[in-house]
Structure 1
């Protein structure tokens, strides 16, 4: 008899989890559809090229599509237990993002993003030093120059005098 009650408890936990996941899938699909519909009024294309509604349209369609794919993936899985969440990892990511946001204007995008990526790649993920340095450089300096020169989007530069003197 106790076995039946424990299996019933596991089944109800699964139903509760599935209900919350289903609500999340519906909310994201509706949000994606809303973004698609409202982006149409902005115009997808102009005589000069892509219009202001093209990017929101693409992102809304992608969000709705991925929500539908997620729905079908959840229905095809036979697992009954959810994977445990690593609270330490979540805390480390949230705290490092808060630190990144707080030092970005002082250190600039390049230095702060380099340190952020290096922390997550080398210390949290235990990657080798060469791969951590290469990926951190590409993700900080490379992205900075891609945005600055390729997209004409200014990212924060350093306010500290030694860093500004060397162009960071």
Structure 2
């Protein structure tokens, strides 16, 4: 038997997934320290606030879907589902590569390759975009927020991240 989800069902599933992910991030950010120290915000404060907003948005999606969601309309036809996979597959690949390439290289590759593949941007625009985003993310998280993120296997040899 083939299950074809309705729009309402998918909205509730996504809302619950956002709430679940938000709870995991809130828990981890509390372990880092999500308050205000004498020198400023603790490392978990930004993730805590972001996760709290994400959880509230997930709750809003669930409430809206249950009150007046898409009803019995089908979620997606096969061509729409292919488009979803075109976006989701690179994300899954990025998560798989994260332990080996680190957060910053994966971010640069993901943004760059996605812009080239899906956005059809030229390589001379994609290359500086990927590098710029990786460098800005590095300084924002490592230097600004003092949050250590996974480093690549090249850390210490070639790259500072």
TM-score by length of structure 1 reads 0.55
1:85 aligned residue (78, 81, 86) = 81
1:123 paired to 2:117: yes
Q: Specify the SS of the correspondent of 2:120.
A: coil
Q: Provide the aligned length of Structure 1 versus Structure 2.
A: 146
Q: Is residue 109–residue 158 contact of structure 1 (8 Å, CA) maintained in 2?
A: no
d(CA) in 1 for partners of 2:140, 2:118: 27
d(CA) in 2 for partners of 1:60, 1:160: 29
Compare relative contact order (CA 8 Å, sep 6+) and give the higher one, 1 or 2. Answer: 2
Q: Deviations over 1:48-92 (max 9, x none)?
A: 544677556524531332023313543445571213322652334
Q: Deviations over 1:98-130 (max 9, x none)?
A: 2x325416xx944x5433332211123312334
Aligned to 1:138: 132
Gaps of 5+ in 2: none
Aligned to 1:104: 101
Aligned to 1:159: 154
Q: Deviations over 1:115-163 (max 9, x none)?
A: 33322111233123343223212111222233333334455265389x6
Q: Specify the SS of the correspondent of 1:125.
A: coil
Q: Which has the higher helix share?
A: 1
Specify the structure having the higher radius of gyration (Cα): 1
1:94 aligned residue (87, 92, 95) = 92
Q: Specify the SS of the correspondent of 1:159.
A: coil
